[in-house]
Amino acid sequence: MSVNSSWKSNLPLYIGALILSIIFFYPLYVLILITFVPAPLNNLSPYPPQIPPGFTFYNIIQAYSSLNLTGPVTRSFYVAMMVGGLSLALGIPAAYGLNKIGVRTANKFIIFFFLINMMPGIVVAIPISVEFLKLGLSNIYGVALAQELVVLPLSIFIILGGFRALPSDLENQARVDGANLPTTMYRILIPMNRSAILVAFLLSWMTSWDEFTYAVIISPVKSTFPVQLYNYVTRAVSFEASAFALTFTIPVIIVAVVLQKYLKSQSFTGGLSS
Amino acid sequence: MYYIKFHFLQTFNRIKDYDGTMPKSHNLKYIAFIIPALVYVSALSIFPAALSVYRSFLSPGGSYTFSNYSALLHYGLVKALIDTMLVSIGALILQLFLALFIAMIMVKPFKGNRLFSSLVIIPYGISTVVSAFIFSQIFSAVGGYANSFIVDLGFRPIDWVATSSSSLSVVVIADYWKNTPLVALILFSGLSGLSPSMYEAAKTDGAGAFRRFFSITLPNLAPIMAIALLIRGVSEFNIFALPLVIIGYNPPLITTLIYEFYQTSSATIYYSYAASTILLFIILGYASIVLWKGGAKTYER
pLDDT for B190-200, tens place per residue?
Answer: 888 777 888 88
Per the structure, how many domains does chain B have? 1
Range B114-118 average pLDDT: 81
Residues of chain A with Cβ-Cβ distance to B31 below 8 Å are 97, 101
Give me the percent of chain A exceeding a pLDDT of 70. Answer: 85
Which of B:254-283 have CB within 8 Å of A?
A: 255, 258-259, 262, 269, 272-273, 276-277, 279-280, 283
Query: How far apart are the C-alpha atoms of A122 and A116, rounded to whole Å?
Result: 13
Instruction: Kindly determine whether residue B5 and residue A154, on different chains, have CB atoms separated by under 8 Å.
Output: yes
pLDDT tens across A138-197, in order? 889 999 999 999 899 889 988 988 888 888 788 888 888 888 888 888 888 888 888 888
A179 versus A217: which is more confidently predicted? A217
pLDDT tens across A231-242, in order? 888 776 666 777
pLDDT tens across B240-278, in order? 989 998 888 888 888 888 898 888 887 888 888 999 999
Same domain, A41 and A113: no
Which of B:29-88 have CB within 8 Å of A?
A: 30-34, 36-38, 40-42, 44-46, 48-49, 51-52, 55
Tell me: pLDDT of B301 over 60: no
* pLDDT for residue B207: 80
Same domain, A169 and A245: yes
Same domain, A79 and A52: no
Q: Is residue B58 part of a domain?
A: no
B170 versus B5: which is more confidently predicted? B170
Per-residue pLDDT band at A87 (split at 50, 70, 90):
very high
Instruction: Kindly determine whether residue B122 and residue A28, on different chains, have CB atoms separated by under 8 Å.
Output: yes
Dihedral, B178, B181, B184, B185 alpha carbons, nearest 10: -130
Q: Is residue B28 part of a domain?
A: no
Per the structure, how many domains does chain A have? 2
DSSP state of B44: I
Lowest-confidence pick of A89-103, A137-151, B17-31, B70-84: B17-31
* pLDDT for residue A269: 45
Cβ–Cβ contact B253 with A under 8 A: no
Instruction: Kindly determine whether residue A212 and residue B128, on different chains, have CB atoms separated by under 8 Å.
Output: yes
Range B23-50 average pLDDT: 83
Q: Is residue B30 part of a domain?
A: no
Question: How many Cβ atoms from other residues are within 10 Å of residue B141's Cβ?
Answer: 14
Query: How far apart are the C-alpha atoms of A68 and A94, rounded to whole Å?
Result: 40
* pLDDT for residue B38: 92
Same domain, A139 and A257: yes
* pLDDT for residue B16: 43
Lowest-confidence pick of A221-225, B6-10, B176-180, B210-214: B6-10
- Residue A195 C-alpha, separation from nearest chain B C-alpha, in angstroms: 16
- The residues, ordered by sequence, that sit 6+ positions from B187 with a Cβ below 8 Å of its Cβ are B99, B100, B102, B103, B221, B224, B225, B228
Instruction: Kindly determine whether residue A27 and residue B134, on different chains, have CB atoms separated by under 8 Å.
Output: yes
* pLDDT for residue A43: 62
DSSP state of A267: G
Range B134-144 average pLDDT: 83
Instruction: Kindly determine whether residue A109 and residue B38, on different chains, have CB atoms separated by under 8 Å.
Output: yes
Query: How far apart are the C-alpha atoms of B144 and B160, rounded to whole Å?
Result: 10
Question: How many Cβ atoms from other residues are within 10 Å of residue B32's Cβ?
Answer: 10
Instruction: Kindly determine whether residue A100 and residue B244, on different chains, have CB atoms separated by under 8 Å.
Output: no
Which of B:173-202 have CB within 8 Å of A?
A: 177, 180, 185
By CB atoms closer than 10 A (0-12, 13-18, 19+), residue A167 is exposed
Lowest-confidence pick of A36-50, A52-66, A129-143, A186-200: A36-50
Per-residue pLDDT band at A88 (split at 50, 70, 90):
very high
Tell me: pLDDT of A214 over 50: yes
Query: How far apart are the C-alpha atoms of B289 and B284, rounded to whole Å?
Result: 9
Instruction: Kindly determine whether residue B177 and residue A24, on different chains, have CB atoms separated by under 8 Å.
Output: yes
A252 versus A43: which is more confidently predicted? A252
Q: Is residue B94 part of a domain?
A: yes
**This prediction's pTM:** 0.82
Counting one residue from A and one from B, how many pairs have CB atoms under 8 Å apart? Answer: 307
- Please give the distance of CA A3 from its chain centroid, rounded to a whole number: 35
Nearest-by-Cβ selection for A97 from B3, B31, B110: B31
Query: How far apart are the C-alpha atoms of B84 and B81, rounded to whole Å?
Result: 5
Q: Is residue A85 part of a domain?
A: yes
Same domain, A193 and A160: yes
- Which domain does B194 fall in, by range? 2-6+76-300
Q: Is residue A61 part of a domain?
A: no
Query: How far apart are the C-alpha atoms of B260 and B291, rounded to whole Å?
Result: 32
- Please give the distance of CA A174 from its chain centroid, rounded to a whole number: 35
Same domain, A175 and A150: yes
Instruction: Kindly determine whether residue B238 and residue A122, on different chains, have CB atoms separated by under 8 Å.
Output: yes
Tell me: pLDDT of B136 over 80: yes
Range A12-30 average pLDDT: 88
**ipTM summary value:** 0.81
- Which domain does A16 fall in, by range? 3-56
| Closest-CA residue of chain A to B19 | A103
Give me the percent of chain B exceeding a pLDDT of 70. Answer: 87
- Residue B219 C-alpha, separation from nearest chain A C-alpha, in angstroms: 22
Instruction: Kindly determine whether residue B33 and residue A226, on different chains, have CB atoms separated by under 8 Å.
Output: no
Query: How far apart are the C-alpha atoms of B120 and A20, rounded to whole Å?
Result: 8
Same domain, A52 and A90: no
Q: Is residue A117 part of a domain?
A: yes
Same domain, A39 and A96: no
* pLDDT for residue A236: 67
Cβ–Cβ contact B299 with A under 8 A: no
Query: How far apart are the C-alpha atoms of B196 and B106, rounded to whole Å?
Result: 15
CATH of the domain at A230: 1.10.3720.10
Same domain, A39 and A138: no
CB A156 within 8 A of CB B36: no
Instruction: Kindly determine whether residue A127 and residue B130, on different chains, have CB atoms separated by under 8 Å.
Output: no
Instruction: Kindly determine whether residue B34 and residue A110, on different chains, have CB atoms separated by under 8 Å.
Output: no
CATH of the domain at B160: 1.10.3720.10
Encoded amino acid at B256, one letter = T
CB A219 within 8 A of CB A227: yes
pLDDT tens across B199-256, in order? 888 888 888 888 888 888 888 888 778 777 777 888 888 899 899 988 888 888 888 8
A41 versus B170: which is more confidently predicted? B170
- Beta bridge partners, B58, equal B64
Polymer length in residues for chain A = 274
Tell me: pLDDT of B14 over 50: no
Chosen from A30, A50, A119, A235 to mutate, greatest number of chain B CBs within 10 A: A119
* pLDDT for residue B120: 84
* pLDDT for residue B233: 83
Q: Is residue A233 part of a domain?
A: yes
Instruction: Kindly determine whether residue A252 and residue B127, on different chains, have CB atoms separated by under 8 Å.
Output: yes
